[in-house]
Structure 1
Amino acid sequence: MNLNKINYFYFLGIGGIGMSSIAKYFHLIGKKVFGHDQNKTLLTKKLEKEGISINYNDSISFLPKCVLSKECLIVYTPAISNNNKQWIFLKKYGKNIKKRSQVLALITENELCIAIGGTHGKTTTCTLLGHILYSAGMKITAFLGGISENYKSNLLFNKKSKIFLVEADEFDHSFLYLSPNIACITSLDQDHIDIYPTKENLKKSYIDFSNRIKKPYRKIFLCKEESLRAKNSIYYSIIEKKVNYYSDHLCIKENKWYFDFHTPKETWTSLPLPIPGIHNLKNVTAALAISDYLKINKKEIKKALFLFKGIKRRFSIHYQKKKIYIDDYAHHPTEINALIHTVRKCFPKKKILGIFQPHLFSRTKFFEKFFVKSLEKLDILILLDIYPARENPINNVNSNNLLKKIKINYENKEISTLSKVLEKLKKKHFDIIITMGAGNIDTLILPITKWLNKQYRDEKK
C-alpha cells in the first residue's frame, strides 16, 4: 500500500499509547485524522486539542463520511472489542483496513529504522535512545510506548527524518511486520500467554524477528544475560565483561545512582543512572551502546543522559515529603520484583504499601504463584480487581482467590475497588505508597497526590 495515496485515517482505539503516536504522526504530515475510543482520557483530550476529531460512542452514526472511501485507511488495535459496532461495520464495508503494527511497518519500510524489542525495558530503552539522538541533532522520528517527561509526548517528530525509531511489540506477533536496520532485544521473559503458551513459542518469535534485520547496518543488540543468540549481533551486559559494551560499578551516593560504561575503546566513568534500579541499568546500557555504535558524539550522549527526565509511569515519584508516592507500570512479576527491590534500595527501612491492579485474566492465572511471591515483598497490600482489557473472565481467576494465597498478615492485605482506595489509604500506616499496573490504575495518581499534599499541608498548620 502506498501511504502517499491515503488522505484520510480513521483510528479504532485511538487512545492507546501506540495508536495515538501514529495518529499524531499522520496529523503532523498533513493528513486528515479521525478516531474512536471508548473513554476520554488525557491522551485523547490532547489529540483533540491538536485538531484530531474523536468520537466516544461506537454507534456507526458517529463515523465520518470519508471512512468508506478508497482514500481512507482504517487503523485498528487488536485490543478493540469484537462487539464494537463501528468495528463490525467497518470490517464489512471498509475499503482499506490495517492493524497498527502493519501501519508502523508501512511508515518505516523504506526508511532507516531502529526497533527496540523485549518483554521488559523496551519503552525505557527506546525513550532514552530517542532523547539522545534527538538532542544530538539527528533528524529522527520516534514512536514511543510511553510519555517522555522531556517532551511531554509519545512522539518525537521531524518532518525531514532520516531515522525512524520504533518499539517492536511482541504482542500478537506485531513485530514480525517490521524489517529494521538495527534492532535491540532487551529481555526474553515469558508473557502474553494467550499468544505464547510456552517460552519456546516466544523465543521462536524473537528469532524470527532477529532474522528480519536488513542492510544497511543489519545489526542486532542483545543482552548477554538473556538466552537469545543471533547472527550479526552486538552484545551488551551489566555482568559479563567479555562483550562489546558493558556497565559496572553501580553505586548510590546521596540517594543518586551512578555507574561506569565501557565501550570497545574506552570507559566513561561516574555516569548518572536517570531511573534507579539494576534493571534500568540494562536499559540505559542498551541505549548508550546503540548511540555509541551510531557514532554520536560522546559529549552529546553524556549531556543527554544528564538531562533525561524519565518516562511517565516508570518509577514516577509524585510526592516526596513526609511520605513518598511512586507510580509504576509494573504488571508482570519480574517487573514488580525489580520495582520493590529498587524502592527498598532507594528508601531502606521504610514501610511500603503497594496498590496493585492485575492486568488480564490469562496473565494472572499463568503467573499466579509468581505474583504471590512478588506481592509478599510488600508490607501492606491493597489488591484491585483484575483489569480485563481485551479478555473475558476465566473461572476461579479473580483477585479474591489471589489474595488468599498471599502470606501477608491478614490485617495488612485487602481487596478494594478504585473508588474506595483513598478511603482505605486514610486508615493505613505507611512510609511509601506504590501504585502498580497496566490498566486504569493511573486514574489514582491525581487523587492520591492531592490527598497527600492536603494531608501534609494540614498537619503543618
Structure 2
Amino acid sequence: MTTYHFVGIKGTGMSPLAQILHDMKYDIQGSDIEQYIFTQQALEERNIPVLPFGANNVKSDQVVIAGNAFPNDHEEVAKATELGVPVYRYHHFLGEFIKKFISVAVTGSHGKTSTTGLLAHVLGAAKPTSYLIGDGSGKGKEDSEYFVFEACEYRRHFLSYEPSYAIMTNIDFDHPDYFKDVNDVFDAFQSMALQVQKGIIACGDDPYLQQMQAKVPVMFYGLNDNNDFQARNIQVNEKGTTFDVFVRNSFHETFSIPGFGTHHVLNALSVIALCHYEQVDVNILKEQLATFKGVKRRFTEKKIGQQILIDDYAHHPTEIKATIESAQQKYPDKEVVAIFQPHTYTRTQTFLAEFADSLNQADAVYLCDIFGSARENSGNLKIENLQERIPNSNIIGEDTIDLLSKHTNSVLLFMGAGDIQKYQRAYESQLAS
C-alpha cells in the first residue's frame, strides 16, 4: 500500500489533510520541526508518525505531499525528486482530491475558518461529510458525499481548486506582502469565481462581491434588502443571537446561534443559504446552528476570577473590530481590554492607521512587539509607531504582563496570528502563583 509522506505535516492545512487521509484508511506519515505546534495534537491522537526532517524519511514507494513553505531544494523534496517518486504541492493535491465529492470551498478575506467549521458541523449531521479547517482540524469519512474545506487566497493558491460550490464571505485588502491592493485581491477572487462548477454563495453586503462575474448562479446573503437570503429582526441576549431569515422577501425560519456580533450572523446566513440550495432538513439546520461550539483560536474563552481571558486569531483591523464588538455584546458590563500582537511588518506598516482605529474601540489597549516573518525586512518600523496613534495605550512584555491584573472586572482579548498565546500563558502562570 502506498504511504503518503507529508513534508511539513504540522502546517494548518497539511495537518488536517493528513488527518482526513488517515481517517479514510490511507497510510500516512510526515516530518516537521521538533518545536511543539498546536496542530500536532490531532496527529498524535491518531498515532500518525511525525519525524524530524531528514532525507532518509523519503522512500521509493511513497507519494510525497510538500507544504508550500518548503522549496524544491529542501532535503526531503530533493530526495523525492532524485528517487522519482510523485511530489505534489499541498494545494495541487487537494485540488485533485476534492473532485471525488460535492465540494464546498469556503473563501474570503475574513471568516473563512469559522464558516468552514460551522458548515462542517451542520452538513455533517445531515450527510456523510469530510472537512478541512484552517485551524488544524480535519476529518475524513470513507463514504463522504460532501467535502467542506477552507480555501486561502494567499499567493492565489485557491486557483488550484474547481469546487462544486464556493462560499465567499468578503473581499478586503490583506497579505500586503503579496497583493498590491484591494483590486488585486478582487482579481484573484474573480478568477476563482470562474472555476466554480455549480453555484456561488456570496455576501451581498460586500461591494466587491456585488461585482463578481460567474458562469454559475450566484446567491447573495446579508443584512441589506437586495439579498436573496436576508437576516432581519436581530436580537441579542446573554445566550447569543436570534434572527429571522427571509428568502427573496418571504419569511423562511427563525434561527438562534451562540455567537455574538454581525459577522456571526453573516457566517450563519451563508451556511443557511447553501443548505437551502442542497435541501438539507431545516430542523437539522436549526439544531446544529444552535449547538456550534466554534473553532480553535476564534474567541476561545477561559474564566479566571472576575476576568474572562479570550484567545483570538484576529490579525487584521476588520477582524479586531469584529472581536471587540463580540466581547462588548456578550459582556456589556465588563471592561474590554485589547492585548494585540501585530503579525508581519508589511501588514503592520500598511494598516497602521486602521489598526489604531479598530483598537481604539476597546476600553484599554496593550501592545506586544511585532511578530515578524522570515520572509520580510522590518525596515524602521517599531511597535511604538502604532502606540503613538492610540491614546493611553501601553507596550507590554512577558515580564510586565502583571499590568493586566488591575483590570479586575474585564474581558482580556489576546489577539494575533503570531505567538500571542505565550503572553496569555505568562499571565495565567502569574495569576496561579
What TM-score, normalized by structure 1, do the two folds share?
0.85
What TM-score, normalized by structure 2, do the two folds share?
0.90
Partner of 1:248: 232
Matches within 5 A, 1:8-407: 8-28=3-23, 29-56=25-52, 58=53, 60=54, 63-64=56-57, 67-69=58-60, 71-78=62-69, 80=70, 86=75, 89-90=78-79, 93=82, 95=84, 96-136=86-126, 138-146=127-135, 154-214=137-197, 218-226=198-206, 227-228=208-209, 229-231=212-214, 232-254=216-238, 256-264=240-248, 267-319=251-303, 321-348=305-332, 350-404=334-388, 406-407=389-390
Partner of 1:458: none
Partner of 2:2: 7
- Cα distance, 1:449 vs structure 2: 4.9
Q: Which secondary structure does the structure 2 equivalent of 1:145 belong to?
A: coil
Of the structure 1 ranges 421-430 and 201-210, higher mean CA displacement relative to structure 2 is found in: 421-430
Question: CA 1:324/1:199 → structure 2, altered by over 3 Å: closer, same or farther?
Answer: same
AA matched with 2:410: D
Tell me the distance in 2 between the aligned counterparts of 1:69 and 1:26: 20
AA matched with 1:128: L
Of the structure 1 ranges 434-443 and 249-258, higher mean CA displacement relative to structure 2 is found in: 249-258
- Give yes or no for contact 1:234–1:244 (8 Å, CA) kept in 2: no
Of the structure 1 ranges 356-365 and 102-111, higher mean CA displacement relative to structure 2 is found in: 102-111
- Give yes or no for contact 1:237–1:245 (8 Å, CA) kept in 2: yes
- Give yes or no for contact 2:2–2:61 (8 Å, CA) kept in 1: no
Is there any run of 5+ residues in structure 2 with no aligned partner, and where? Answer: none
Tell me the distance in 2 between the aligned counterparts of 1:98 and 1:83: 11
- Cα distance, 1:291 vs structure 2: 0.9
Alignment RMSD, CA only? Answer: 2.6
**Which residue among 369, 387, 394 is the counterpart of 1:413?**
394
Partner of 1:150: none
Tell me the distance in 1 between the aligned counterparts of 2:301 and 2:331: 13
Q: Which secondary structure does the structure 2 equivalent of 1:98 belong to?
A: strand
Of the structure 1 ranges 178-187 and 67-76, higher mean CA displacement relative to structure 2 is found in: 67-76
AA matched with 1:27: H
AA matched with 1:307: T
Of the structure 1 ranges 283-292 and 234-243, higher mean CA displacement relative to structure 2 is found in: 234-243
Tell me the distance in 1 between the aligned counterparts of 2:351 and 2:100: 40
Q: Deviations over 1:76-128 (max 9, x none)?
A: 133x4x69963674586464332211111121124321111100111111111
Tell me the distance in 2 between the aligned counterparts of 1:426 and 1:130: 38
Tell me the distance in 2 between the aligned counterparts of 1:167 and 1:420: 37
AA matched with 1:146: D
| % same residue | 26
- Cα distance, 1:262 vs structure 2: 2.0
- Cα distance, 1:32 vs structure 2: 3.1
**Runs of at least 4 residues of structure 1 off by over 4 A?**
82-85, 87-92, 427-430, 444-452
Tell me the distance in 2 between the aligned counterparts of 1:22 and 1:115: 14
Tell me the distance in 1 between the aligned counterparts of 2:391 and 2:205: 32
Is there any run of 5+ residues in structure 1 with no aligned partner, and where? Answer: 1-5, 148-153, 456-461
Tell me the distance in 1 between the aligned counterparts of 2:204 and 2:422: 37
Q: Which secondary structure does the structure 2 equivalent of 1:102 belong to?
A: helix
- Give yes or no for contact 2:106–2:112 (8 Å, CA) kept in 1: yes
Tell me the distance in 2 between the aligned counterparts of 1:83 and 1:396: 32
